[in-house]
Structure 1
């Protein structure tokens, strides 16, 4: 979990909050969590929706249901790619600000 949090430039506590709100699959506190690439894409999407689009937990749950109900794989991949690009863009902006 902490590795994924680091990739997203957030804190593990934020990831646990997503779990507590039912946005991510939960696990045992002391159990090390391993995520598939598909799960990491989903985590990135949740983080993007929460932080960049400012969508609340209920809205995110609804969007995730829609994705699960049959959006095409191509559309899903495009959405995940957009979220990833925006997160990377924000990370690069933070790095540039740190250089000043």
Structure 2
């Protein structure tokens, strides 16, 4: 483990300082879609998801439901997001969250 991580740093990603962004590994099922929709309710306005590249060993898409995540509001996060969703640009000015 990097020494900075032991001290609570978000190294190497400056985007994650003070919880400004959230990463979550894929569930690889419908829970990905549900989680994405829930995070939109909590006013994250940029959601990056992995792209539809195929794994050279298994020839299966990394994220089988990639297109569905895009239609629900995700954006192409390229290869960097093949193993996790990235939630960013939280709207801090929102006073209340309605479920």
- TM interval, shorter chain, is under 0.3
- For normalisation by structure 1, the TM-score amounts to 0.23
RCO (CA 8 Å, sep 6+): is it higher in 1 or 2? 2
Query: Highest Rg: 1 or 2?
Result: 2
Which structure shows the higher strand fraction?
Answer: 2
- For normalisation by structure 2, the TM-score amounts to 0.23
